[in-house]
Amino acid sequence: MRFTSFRAVSVSLACASLLTILGGAGVVLVSASPARAGIESVDHAPWTAILERYVSEDGWVDYDGLQREASRDLERYLDSLASVKPGKLSDDERKAFWINAYNALCIDTLLAKDLPSTVPHKSFLGIGSNIFVLERREIGGRKRSLDDIEHGILRKKFDDPRIHAALVCGASSCPRLRAEAYEANRLDEQLDEETRRWIREGLDLEGNRKNRLDRENKVFHASKIFSWFKKDFGGSDRGVLDFVAKYASESDREFLKKNDVSVRYLDYDWSLNRKKG
């Protein structure tokens, strides 16, 4: 710790007390940690509160309820990310920050397009614009698009293909949206869990697996995400299978290791991941 004077410690403790009081009042804060002078942390609790209420266990989103009841809460959370200085975050905090920012910005952008409630699973690509290039809100010091965050930051600066299991663009073929924010102190655990769910359990609107192993024909039917971003998974079908094997069930893992399995990439369902019923 660079500053060890009594005055500095006293100021840090006073600030920590104030943050506790304000945090209890529901205020979203970016705070300097007394244990790590000059390093910031971000409160993602408001985002977790939204996700817990409007995202089902299997990852579908209640856009209608969120629009009616919590759109301002989402806006306030995104506003709180505007002045964050990502360079002052630890590596895991920065990665969690950008994953949360992507998912929150995506939902906010979709809500702003006035999604028709009368068409439960309307393709969001038919709502009039490419949401991935829109720069609607300031995040981390400047306006960002979804593409900026995914390709210019997360994929460029973090060598972690598990990110693809955590980013949810609003399409039904996306991985599920986790019903809590990503947090630095649990990030590896959360990313591992979502990657396992995506590969083992993820279902589309028709109840089909988003990734599935056909043992009879020795074919792994993989999400189109693996094809689009094959470079992130070793640059080959073999790299895709090696990654899948790490997170597949034990029996699937053994089959993939012992057999010559080919890869086929599934079509992508761009219909909205709206909560059913």
List, for residues 181-213, the tens digit of each pLDDT value: 999 999 999 999 999 999 998 776 667 789 999
Which pTM value belongs to this model?
A: 0.83
Phi-psi region of 267 (alpha: psi -120 to 50; beta: other; left: phi over 0): beta
Given a cut of 80, whether residue 96 has pLDDT beyond it is: yes
Structure tokens at 252: 């699937």
Residue with structure tokens 């396992």? 196
Given a cut of 50, whether residue 26 has pLDDT beyond it is: no
CA 19/CA 137 separation, integer angstroms: 25
* Domain range summary for the chain, segments of one domain joined by +: 1-38, 43-189
Using pLDDT thresholds of 50, 70 and 90, give the confidence band for residue 14. Answer: very low
Q: Each residue of 50-69: pLDDT tens digit?
A: 999 999 988 999 999 999 99
pLDDT at 205: 63
Residue with structure tokens 């993989």? 222
Q: Each residue of 117-158: pLDDT tens digit?
A: 544 444 555 555 578 988 989 999 999 999 999 999 999 999
Q: Mean of the per-residue pLDDT values for the chain? A: 84
